[in-house]
Amino acid sequence: MLAVAALLAAACRTDTGSTSGAAGKSVSTSIVRGGEIVASVRSEPRTFNRLTARDTTTDLVSELTQAKLVRINKVTQAVEPWLAESWTLAADRRTYTIRLRQNLTFSDGHPFTADDVVFAFAAVYDEKTGSILADSLKAGGKTLTVSASDPQTVVVTFPFAFAPGVRLLENLPILPRHKLEPALKAGKLADAWGLSTPPSEVVGMGPFVLREYTPGQRLRFERNPRYWRRAPDGGPLPYLDRVTVDVIPDQNAELLRLESGQIDTMSGEVVPESYATMKRAAGEGRVQLLDLGPVLWADSFWFNLKPGAFAGDARAAWLQRDELRRAISMAVDRKAFADAVFLGAGEPVYSFVTPANKEWYWTGTPATPHDPAGAKALLASIGLTDRNGDGLMEDASGQPARFSIVTQKGRPRLERGAAVVRDELKKIGLTVDVALLDANAVIERLVSGRYEAAMYPILPTDTDPGTNPDFWFSSGSFHLWNMSQPKPATDWERRIDELMAQQIGSADYAERKRLFDEVQQILYEHQPVVYFAAQKWYVAVSSRLVNVAPALYQPLPVLWAADTIAVRPR
């Protein structure tokens, strides 16, 4: 990541007479303040309460309106002090004493103290809240102990020596105790800050405040006059006065609006089929086209492996078998997948962690061969053969070997990816139906377990695996194929739990790497999630934007550092 960060910083520098800024790139000392930008997202927020939803737009609302104790710079991957000014680690390697910045206030003027931090942890850990962030703020499945020793000091004690340390704290937005404590005490925090909440009630310490929400259309944010960060010249941040976020479900419509100057930045990447158009627009000076290289995490394909998910269905005998997933991995031609889905702007991959994550990628990852004959042999081993000579597989009862894939409509790469998998599997006799749903419907299906197979981008917030326990541990709330298991459903998942517990407890990077390599090896052997290709990422922004710090961070490659974005004077 350091090499990538250096390349991006050099390639994307847009100003002169600069000093170093917190976004990991040059920051001009003479940037013009004021102005407005228009961004876009592809779906409405599910809520304004980040504790209870993980969708793209809810995340964006939180990024713009809330702040955290620390921030992970999405370009450099370094931990940066945010609401926490500094911290020290005790000799036990478990206890952090965190000193908060002084004289900060929430957007409504209420003072920020250590009690707000203690409250935020209590809120996320409360069982009645049912927060989807709870797992990501645990070490080895155990909660942290948090106390306030004085109004400006917080003591955070991990249950054991935890290698990622304060990186974990980036997962928690610090919510206002004075606004939300009554809801927590009443056991109703999960219902707080719903979409019907007046925007003025959504209080935070982020660079902007929510001013207006028009369902199905847009959100409007205005600069937070009480925002605590300062620019290198000592002036206030954010530079912008306003950010408008339009809801544009169709990815192609987003790109057309960007090209025509109606919006300034999008929630995601330039899709491959629009690269030539954006390159031409960049040549004409209408947009800036930024090359970020291959993504850190490829789109995921997986089956619902929850025990009993297909009870009473004859397909239960084969639908959750390792052999089926391995056969699919062998049947899909990854080079053809990359060419068809990403129009050549992609690279075959075989693991959740791609080579772009230089620190944690397992270099021993085998390259699964494209072997349709071998795939058919695997299917035959679980009773799937062409019993009637029609070219399609049937199971032992004579029923068609058929399943459905859910994915998001309006996102061409996902639509094409599901179609390629369908067509490749037809060649070995499997029948696949593709169900295209809007983003929130896909999330609802995944969370409720009402699906057979899915193709969707799963995007951890950090490159360090220790900070994503909700994915790696079997008890995790985003352990895709079987979420929130009370105990490991398989021996191999139990082994991963053991390895990850050791991995996050070791202070030796080489040992952590060895343990995580073994985790990746187990995942490769059982393939609960199958990966086909990693897209090469291009981000386009309006030519009027300056001081952007683009990062391999979907869905907010630019807006993750919204407080330092500015616009050129007209």
Which residues 6+ apart lie within 8 Å of 394 measured at CB? 384, 385, 386, 387, 388, 400, 401
Q: What is the mean pLDDT of residues 294-311?
A: 93
Q: What is the mean pLDDT of residues 66-72?
A: 97
Q: How far is residue 448 from each of residues 309, 317, 442, 445, 452, measured CA to CA in Å? A: 11, 22, 10, 5, 12
Calpha distance 411→436 (Å, rounded): 10
Rg, C-alpha atoms of the chain? 24
Query: Structure tokens of 179?
Result: 């606004």
For 166-211, write each residue's pLDDT tens digit.
999 999 999 999 999 999 999 999 999 999 999 999 999 999 999 9
| Exposure class string for 38-59: b at 16+ Cβ within 10 A, else e | bbbbbbbbbbbbbbbbbbbbbb
Per-residue HEC secondary structure of 77-97 comes to: CCEEECCEEEEEECCCCCEEE
Q: Is the dihedral of CA 284, 285, 291, 297 positive or negative?
A: negative
Calpha distance 561→542 (Å, rounded): 16
Query: Structure tokens of 467?
Result: 């900070």
Calpha distance 550→543 (Å, rounded): 14
Query: Structure tokens of 431?
Result: 């029948």
Q: Which of 534, 300, 303 is nearest to 430 (CA)?
A: 303
How high is the pLDDT of residue 6?
Answer: 28
Q: Are 357 and 462 in contact (CB under 8 A)?
A: no
pLDDT band at 30 (very low <50, low <70, confident <90, very high): low
Q: Is the pLDDT of residue 155 over 90?
A: yes
For 392-404, write each residue's pLDDT tens digit.
999 999 999 999 9
Q: What is the mean pLDDT of residues 483-510?
A: 94
How high is the pLDDT of residue 340?
Answer: 94
Which residue is listed with tokens 């042999």?
377
Helices 372-381, 322-331: axis angle to 10 degrees equals: 170
Check residues 554 and 67 and name the one with the higher pLDDT.
67
Cis, bond preceding 238 (omega within 30 deg of 0): yes
Q: Is the pLDDT of residue 13 over 50?
A: no
pLDDT band at 410 (very low <50, low <70, confident <90, very high): confident
Q: What is the mean pLDDT of residues 368-395?
A: 96
Structural domains of the chain ordered from first start: 300-535 (3.10.105.10)
pTM of the predicted structure, to 2 decimals? 0.73
Q: Are 449 and 306 in contact (CB under 8 A)?
A: yes
Task: Measure the CA dihedral 55/57/62/64, to 10°.
Answer: 150
How high is the pLDDT of residue 560?
Answer: 94
Which residues 6+ apart lie within 8 Å of 213 measured at CB? 45, 195, 199, 219, 220
> What whole-number percentage of the chain has pLDDT above 90?
78
How high is the pLDDT of residue 21?
Answer: 37
Q: Is the pLDDT of residue 279 over 60?
A: yes
